[in-house]
Amino acid sequence: MGIGESLAREFVAHAASVVLLSRDAARAEAARGRIGNGERTLALPCDVRRREQIDRVIALTLRRFHRIDVWINNAGHGLLDAIASVDMAACREMFESNLFGAIEAMQAVIPVMRQQGSGTIINISSVAGHIPLPFHATYSASKFALNAISKAARIELAPDKLHVMSVCPGYVRTSFRANAVKGKNAKGIGSPSQRGISAARVARATLAGYRRQAGEIVVPWYMHLPIKLYQCFPSVVEYAMGRMARSRS
């Protein structure tokens, strides 16, 4: 659903063969039905927290399509709470999906791409991986870490002619907040009426970035400004976020 389904739709529309993965097999199959092009799509159950399931879908993908040119790590969820009260079991569970599952998937698919002599890994991160958000700190931490993994892996894998790209969307109109795990202090810092961008826009930017082999995509483009502002003047951004957080209390 959300960004994942939009990515699948965009790549299929540009003649790619696509495998859709979800912990819920019925949900993946329903998305496949909405996308169409059944001869070029495959829906499989996969929980990225389980390495054996990742290995299974890679084997099935190779059996059906014979190669894997692009692997997209998009699985994950949010955790909204203050650091003082966040449940550590919920925090570890989120990192299993958002970060460790992505690393496991990369380790599983890299040998395939090395044997092919080419391939691209795309990690769907977030602007929150550049600017830590209050009451979303653990989620931001998982995305900061994913950005670091992507940048380091891009250098490590370049000699093998493999590419790693990270995608950092701003606020996207999906069910992210509704599906996030909410703790005792699940506050937000944006306006409840914040519109955000569509998942389809993220998908288009991702495909365009893949085609030009970009290292990182920030979408919408104007989110580069707050990222750069935070890098240069963190206290200014932190003051503004503090005021927004207080206004939502």
Residue 139 annotated to the active site = yes
User: Which amino acid is it at 9?
Assistant: R
Give 86's contacts (C-beta < 8 A, 6+ positions apart): 79, 137, 138, 183
Which string of DSSP letters, residue by residue, matches 129-161? Answer: GTSPPTT-HHHHHHHHHHHHHHHHHHHHHGGGT
Q: Identify which of 118, 115, 120, 112 has the alpha carbon closest to the alpha carbon of residue 73.
A: 120
What stretch of H or E contains 56? helix 51-65
Cβ-based neighbour number of residue 170 at 10 Å:
21
- Exposed/middle/buried for 235, CB within 10 Å: 0-12, 13-18, 19+? exposed
- Exposed/middle/buried for 167, CB within 10 Å: 0-12, 13-18, 19+? buried
Identify the active-site residue in 139, 171, 210, 230. Answer: 139
Rounded CA separation 94/89 (Å): 9
Rounded CA separation 230/1 (Å): 31
Residues designated catalytic: 139
